[in-house]
Chain A
Amino acid sequence: MGSSVISAVTNFGRGSGDSGTSTEVSTWSKGDSVRTGLAALLVVGLLFTAYQLSDNEGTGVNAALSLLIGSALGIAFERGRFCFFCIFRDAIEDRDTTPFLSILSAIAVGAIGYAVIFGQFLPDTSSDRLPPNAHIGPVSTALIAAGLAFGIGMALSGACISGHLYRIGQGSLRAYPALFGSLIGFGLGFKSWNTLYSKSISDAPTTWLPHYLGYGGSLVLTLLLLAVIAVVTIRFGKNSTPLANPVATKIDLASLRQSLLINRWRPLTTGAIFGVIGTFAYLRIEPLGVTRQLSTTSRTYFEGQGWIPQNLDGLDLMAGCIAVVSTAIVNNGWLILGIVTASFAAALAGNRFKFQQITWRNALTALVGGMLLGWSSMIALGCTVGVLLSGTQSFALSGWVFFATAFTGAWIGIKLKLHKL
């Protein structure tokens, strides 16, 4: 495999495909008009589809809202390059820790939003009840193993699951074998679930901070912890890029377009947008997650084949991106459709859509990495979005454990140069 291809694949998002930040306003060409027009059409199409869904008996308002939430996510993922693996890799490999701040800002803003909603959903934290649907999971050795495997899977396949989803919109071809691998991985997860459940997960504590500290104390502790991580991160970042400079000294349409469509969004802003979307998603439907539809598809298929047990012990009692057996599209399916389509629209408008080269070799690493991502998302009941973000925002210890272990796994993967295979 040629080295140019390697760099095109592994440096995706750092090279020509992503303009990063520019203080120069690029000129508007005829091609830009066409691409932006197409992107606008896609957005109109999404809005129209949402309208149709909301009117449809079978799907209803929640499906429509899921599509719109997914669309907002797709734009934010693409414009903020909010891909956990890229963010971890920038920090570990290049010691550029600026992008890492977007994760911290997403958790901080989301935690504030969740605290407000929790206060109404479950005013009394003294009982052993948990707020409905929030992604608060058991903290077990299986979760630690899943986090590490997820990190390694990210390194092998080049992105996390949400990263692969939004990169489909940017023209990534490796995302396909990676996501296909994740479907197989979910199947392996279902196959190993009952054993892991009885050996590790069933006895594990489901630790939720507000049971001990209330909402105020949990929020203060979370923000303090984020502040400490931010300080350590900024000190570690020897080669960090500065937070983006303004494009122009005065506002005009060209500079606005440059900021919105061309330049990468600032990390703190991107994170805050994720925090806000996460809050809205929890208020109206369910916490953010991107694996429920994938795992549902996998479970339905494998159960039909008789390869996985029909009874997955205790799964119904858990909270997270839980797969059901269903041939219909669940709300999460509409969310994913929104991510991919809106990311494509955003990439088009900024002229970042480009088919990435794919070789047998990098397709295979994507497939194997995807299998690891799928297995660990099943065992952890979610991925970097469903457990890491939604979990930490919910004050769940499980979210923090997954954060630490997925980061460690990515670190190991990068040190072993798995992302350069």
Chain B
Amino acid sequence: MFKNLVVRPKNIVVALLSLGLVAGVTVAPASAAPKNLARSVVQADWLEKNLDNPDVKIIEVSTEAGLYERGHIKNAVKFNWYTDLVETVNRDIVAGARFQKLARAAGINKNSTVVLYGDKNNWFAAWGAWIFNTYGIEDVRLVDGGRVKWEKDGRPFTTVVPTPKEGNFVATKADKSIRATLIRDVLPAVRKKGTVDLVDIRGADEYNGKIFAASGFQELAIRAGHIPGAVNVPWGANVNSDGTFKTVAELKKLYADKGIDGKKTIITYCRIGERSSLTWFVLSEILGYDVKNYDGSWTEYGNGVGNPINNPAGTIWGAA
């Protein structure tokens, strides 16, 4: 029902080229096919035409208080990242049963197309997309450029809060293949170098251990640096200056230049896992690689007793 909705000619060329690649120019791993049948990024034009489409469910995940209330895309339901998409007591992603209830209340059915957008370059919306994928929604997409681009293009917002009919979505068991944990995935990857590609999406200073966290973030790790073997591709490299995703070809090249071509499983991480969910989305949903997001991220790894780190800057003991 939904095709690849790429309006940019260069993307069509790229897509055709990619098809050529998959068709046998190079040997792509079996897992490289996108999990979603439909293209996972929607353009605002398409969304404007589908605002009232009953099969399309729009979710806003922004973290700035009052943003949604003062104006949002028509028919969008608000999810609160801090309380709806994570567990507040034990550090974890939202439990399946609670998520099912939340999604049903938002009118989401098994076969819904879920379209997410938010503030801050879709960071938290991308976390939402990762969670929806975790619990078995087949068709999950992000709005290219998020809230900022929508507003910049002069598209309308409304303050009317929708009251959707209860959906029939059933959460599957959490999909472990897209989530990395310290014991199961990260430490083995560190021990057996070269089996997994690690991508650290934080800024260069954080990656090199010069600083413990970007300014303004209070939750720190006791040590600075990065997971041994990780390459540094800051999340901002995925997007253009207006917040839209770069083309498939640009993204492929960006990661290939760092030695990441999708032949191995990839683990993405940042400080708490929300910005890296955007990189997870790019690598997994746009490029079709096999990717796990490590939500424990540096605040777990850098605080763990006995975890080896790589700290080129040589800083010891942070918040002193």
Is B194 at the interface (CB under 8 A from chain A)?
no
Residues from chain B with Cβ under 8 Å of A122 in the complex: 69
B66:A132 contact, CB within 8 angstroms: yes
Tell me if B65 is interfacial: C-beta within 8 Å of chain A.
yes
Q: Would A133 and B218 be within 8 Å (CB), given that A120-B161, A123-B161 are in contact? A: no
Query: A121, B218: Cβ atoms under 8 Å?
Result: no
Contacts of A132 in B (CB 8 A): 65-66, 69
The answer, yes or no, to whether B159 is at the interface (CB within 8 Å) is: yes
Number of B residues with CB within 8 Å of any CB on chain A: 8
Which B residues are CB-close (under 8 A) to A284? 70
The B68-94 residues at the A interface (CB cut-off 8 A) are: 69-70
Contact A283 B70 (CB under 8 A): yes
When chains A and B are docked, how far (Å) is the Cα of A131 from the Cα of B66?
8
Taking CB atoms and an 8 Å cut-off, the chain B residues in 256-288 that contact chain A are none
Nearest Cβ distance between residue B319 and chain A, in whole angstroms? 9
A311 within 8 A of B: yes
CB-CB under 8 A from B218, the residues of chain A are: 311
A355 to chain B, nearest CB (A): 41
Q: Given the complex of chains A and B, what is the CA–CA distance between A123 and B105 in angstroms?
A: 15
Q: State how many angstroms separate the Cβ of A133 from the closest Cβ of chain B.
A: 4
Alpha-carbon gap, A131 to B78, bound state (A):
14
B65: A residues at CB distance < 8 A: 132-133
The CA of A216 and the CA of B66, in the complex, are separated in Å by: 22
Please provide the chain B residues from 41 to 71 with a CB less than 8 Å away from any CB of chain A in the complex. Answer: 65-66, 69-70
What's the minimum C-beta distance from B227 to chain A, rounded to whole angstroms? 27
Q: Most chain-B Cβ atoms within 10 A of its Cβ — which of A120, A132, A286? A: A132
**Measured between C-beta atoms, what is the minimum distance from A390 to chain B in Å?**
14
Interface residues of B in 135-182 (CB under 8 A from A): 159-161
Indicate with 1 or 0, residue by residue over A110-146, a CB within 8 angstroms of chain B CB atoms. 0000000000111100000001110000000000000
Q: Which A residue sits closest to B69, measured CB to CB?
A: A121
How distant is the Cα of A122 from the Cα of B159 in the complex, in angstroms?
Answer: 12
Q: Which residue of the partner chain B has the closest CB to A130?
A: B65
Residues of chain B lying within 8 A (CB to CB) of residue A121: 66, 69
A74 to B65, CA, bound (A): 28
Q: Are A120 and B70 interface neighbours, CB within 8 A?
A: no
* Chain A residues within an 8 Å CB radius of B66: 121, 132-133, 286
Q: Binary interface profile of A, 268-309, with partner B (CB < 8 Å = 1, else 0)?
A: 000000000000000110100000000000000000000000
CB distance from B106 to the nearest CB of A (A): 14
CA distance A382 to B209 in the complex (A): 39
Q: How many angstroms from the CA of A286 to the CA of B65 in the assembled complex?
A: 10
The secondary structure that dominates the B interface is loop
Chain B nearest CB from A194 CB (Å) reads 13
* A284–B160 alpha-carbon span in the complex (Å): 14
Which residue of chain B is the closest to A311 with respect to CB atoms?
B218
A-B contact count, CB below 8 Å? 18
Q: Which of B65, B70, B159, B218 has the largest number of chain A CB atoms within 10 A?
A: B70
Could you tell me the distance in whole angstroms from the C-beta of A204 to the nearest C-beta in chain B? 21
Chain A, residue nearest B64 (CB): A132
Interface size on A (CB < 8 Å)? 11
Q: Mark A228-252, 1 if CB is under 8 A from B, else 0.
A: 0000000000000000000000000
For B160, list chain A residues within 8 Å (CB).
120
Cα separation A123 to B160 with both chains bound (whole Å):
11
Q: How far is the CA of A174 from the CA of B65 in the complex (A)?
A: 38
Q: Which of A120, A123, A286, A311 meets B159, CB within 8 Å?
A: A120
Q: Determine the chain A residues whose CB is within 8 A of the CB of B161 once the complex forms.
A: 120, 123
- Shortest distance from the beta carbon of B101 to any chain A beta carbon, whole Å: 14
Question: Please, which residue of chain A has its CB at the minimum distance from the CB of B83?
Answer: A129
CB distance from A370 to the nearest CB of B (A): 30
* Complex-state Cα separation, A121 to B78, whole angstroms: 11
User: What residue of chain A has the Cβ atom nearest to residue B216's Cβ?
Assistant: A325
Shortest distance from the beta carbon of A374 to any chain B beta carbon, whole Å:
24
Complex CA distance for A260 and B160, rounded to whole angstroms = 38
Q: Bound complex: CA of A157 vs CA of B152, how far in Å?
A: 46
Q: Which residue of B lies closest to A122 (CB)?
A: B69
CB distance from A408 to the nearest CB of B (A): 32
| CB-based nearest B residue for A121 | B69
Which residues does chain B contribute within 8 Å of A133, judged by CB atoms?
A: 65-66
8 Å CB interface, B177-220 against A? 218
What is the CB-to-nearest-CB distance from A281 to chain B, in angstroms, rounded to a whole number?
12
Expressed in whole angstroms, the Cα–Cα distance for A121 and B66 within the complex equals 8
Contacts of A131 in B (CB 8 A): 69
Please name all residues of chain B whose beta carbon is closer than 8 Å to the beta carbon of A123 when the two chains form the complex. 161
Contact pattern, B 119-136, Cβ under 8 Å of A = 1, otherwise 0: 000000000000000000
Q: How far is the CA of A284 from the CA of B69 in the complex (A)?
A: 10
CB nearest to A133 among chain B residues = B66
- Considering residues B65, B159, B161, B218, which has the most beta carbons from chain A within 10 angstroms of its beta carbon? B65
Which residue of B is nearest A285, CB measured?
A: B70
Q: For A120, what are the chain B residues with a Cβ–Cβ distance below 8 Å?
A: 69, 159-161
A122 to B69, CA, bound (A): 8
CA distance A286 to B69 in the complex (A): 12
Complex Cα distance, B66 from A284, in Å, reads 10
A82 to B284: give the CA distance in the assembly, Å: 60
How far in angstroms is the closest Cβ of chain A from B214? 14
Closest to A57 in B: B152
Q: Which of chain A's residues have a CB closer than 8 A to the CB of B69? A: 120-122, 131-132
Complex Cα gap A278–B159 (Å) = 18
Collect the chain B residues with CB atoms within 8 Å of residue A283's CB: 70
A350 to chain B, nearest CB (A): 36
Closest Cβ neighbor of B163 among chain A residues: A123
In whole angstroms, how far apart are the Cα atoms of A133 and B66 in the complex?
A: 6
Identify which of B66, B160, B161, B218 gathers the most chain A CB atoms within 10 Å of its CB: B66
A309 to chain B, nearest CB (A): 12
Q: How far is the CA of A131 from the CA of B218 in the complex (A)?
A: 25
A285 nearest CB across to chain B (Å): 8
Q: How far is the CA of A284 from the CA of B70 in the complex (A)?
A: 7
CA distance A283 to B66 in the complex (A): 9
A121 to B160, CA, bound (A): 9
Q: Cβ of A286: which chain B residues have Cβ within 8 Å of it? A: 66
Taking A120-B161, A121-B66 as given, write out 16 further A-B residue pairs in contact, using a Cβ cutoff of 8 Å, ordered by the A residue number: A120-B69, A120-B159, A120-B160, A121-B69, A122-B69, A123-B161, A131-B69, A132-B65, A132-B66, A132-B69, A133-B65, A133-B66, A283-B70, A284-B70, A286-B66, A311-B218
* 8 closest cross-chain pairs (CB), A and B: A132-B66, A132-B65, A121-B69, A133-B66, A132-B69, A133-B65, A120-B159, A120-B161
Give 15 A-B contacts (CB < 8 Å), ordered by A residue: A120-B69, A120-B159, A120-B160, A120-B161, A121-B69, A122-B69, A123-B161, A131-B69, A132-B65, A132-B69, A133-B66, A283-B70, A284-B70, A286-B66, A311-B218
Give residues in B with beta carbon < 8 Å to A: 65-66, 69-70, 159-161, 218
